[in-house]
Amino acid sequence: MTGDFQYAVDTTLGVPPTRITPVHSTRGNEAPPGQRLRLGEALVQAGVITAGQLEQCLRFQEAAVPRRRLGAVVCELGLASDVDVARGLGTILGFELVDPSVLDVPVEVVRRVPRLSAEMLGVVPIAAGENWLRVAVADPTDRFAVELLREATGALTISMAVATPRSIESALHRFWSPEYAPAAPAAPLAAVPDPEPPAPVVEQVPAEPAVTAVEGGWEYAFLGDGVPSSHPGYTGDLAGTERELARLGALGWEAVGVSNSGGRMTVLLKRRSRETG
């Protein structure tokens, strides 16, 4: 044994979702800064088994030949299912529970770890970046397996998720099968062009009526349905005349005379001439 590695959980990285990095090695007379992670203690804290059941499992593990992993012993004694063990570890240690056997992992990611090493360490790669590797593991407290994985792959960061041993074994068989062909990643969504900006609202300047005469500093004009339809002041009906009167009133025109002929109305308008102010 070359050292007793201590690990700290860091959930602040962009590497999904958690990494384990060595922060201490109890070589020589160095004192460890804290308790190392232990699978049995984690299962007790998570409520998967009791402290008494843990002692029972440890005794069984000591006597077993060949030696079995503690998680397998818990399941073998019928104290919990493998899913319960994995979920409990994920809950108490802060790791995501995954099923790697149903994931489509790129072949180049799978091959980052040789199959023999993956089987020996009980891990399966599920994602990778330039300097990090994410693996599904049955026992995330196995610090020596993590260190061996780091040395074998050269990854500076090992990110872990929890999985059952059955799903890891199934994933390894699937990923290393000659027929394995992961689904192509979804094509990136096409960029949606920004909507065309609305056309600027151009304020319409109300049309002026046709001035027919200018006398004594006043402008005069006619409008209504009584003027010829070719006349600029023709309104077509009584309602149109009323609307036009309201509009022209805002421009300074005022009605000074009205005539009706055959039910058709003509209105005489006047306004102070702009030339005289």
Provide, rounded to the nearest whole percent, the portion of the chain with pLDDT above 90: 14
Residue 126 phi/psi, 5° resolution? Answer: -130, -10
**16 near 159, Cβ under 8 Å?**
yes
227, with CB counted inside 10 A (0-12, 13-18, 19+), is buried
Secondary structure (DSSP) of 143-212: HHHHHHHHHHH--SEEEEEE--HHHHHHHHHHHTSTT--PPPPPPPPPPPPPPPPPPPPPPPPPPPPPEE
Choose between 50 and 31: higher pLDDT: 50
Tell me the mean pLDDT in the region 122-147.
87
| Secondary structure (3-state) at 111 | coil
State which H helix or E strand residue 82 sits in: helix 82-93
CA angle 95, 97, 99 (to 5 degrees): 140
* Whole-number pLDDT of residue 131: 83
Asked if the model's pLDDT at residue 17 lies above 50, the reply is no
pLDDT in tens, 146-183: 888 888 888 878 888 999 989 999 999 999 998 898 87
Helix and strand counts by DSSP (H, E) for the chain = 9, 9
Asked if the model's pLDDT at residue 88 lies above 50, the reply is yes
| Secondary structure (3-state) at 69 | coil
The Cα–Cα gap between 72 and 186 comes to 37
Asked if the model's pLDDT at residue 26 lies above 90, the reply is no
Asked if the model's pLDDT at residue 276 lies above 50, the reply is yes
Asked if the model's pLDDT at residue 106 lies above 90, the reply is yes
Which is nearest to 86 in space by CA: 6, 166, 19?
166
* Whole-number pLDDT of residue 211: 81
**136 near 114, Cβ under 8 Å?**
no
Q: Where are the domains of the chain?
A: 5-26+34-175, 211-272
Tokens encoding 168: 């890891």
The Cα–Cα gap between 231 and 224 comes to 10
Provide, rounded to the nearest whole percent, the portion of the chain with pLDDT above 70: 78
97, with CB counted inside 10 A (0-12, 13-18, 19+), is middle
* Whole-number pLDDT of residue 174: 93
Asked if the model's pLDDT at residue 37 lies above 80, the reply is no
Choose between 207 and 74: higher pLDDT: 74
State which H helix or E strand residue 254 sits in: strand 254-261
CATH 3.30.300.160 is held by the domain 5-26+34-175 = yes
Tell me the mean pLDDT in the region 9-24.
41
**40 near 66, Cβ under 8 Å?**
no
Asked if the model's pLDDT at residue 1 lies above 60, the reply is no
Q: Where does 100-170 show beta strands of DSSP type E?
A: 123-128, 132-137, 157-162
**169 near 115, Cβ under 8 Å?**
no
Choose between 275 and 181: higher pLDDT: 181
Mean residue pLDDT of the chain comes to 77
- Cα dihedral 109/42/9/30 (nearest 10): -120
- pTM value surpassing 0.85: no
Asked if the model's pLDDT at residue 144 lies above 70, the reply is yes
Residue in the structure block whose two tokens are 């109300």: 206
Asked if the model's pLDDT at residue 68 lies above 50, the reply is yes
pLDDT in tens, 195-229: 666 666 655 555 777 788 888 788 888 888 888 88
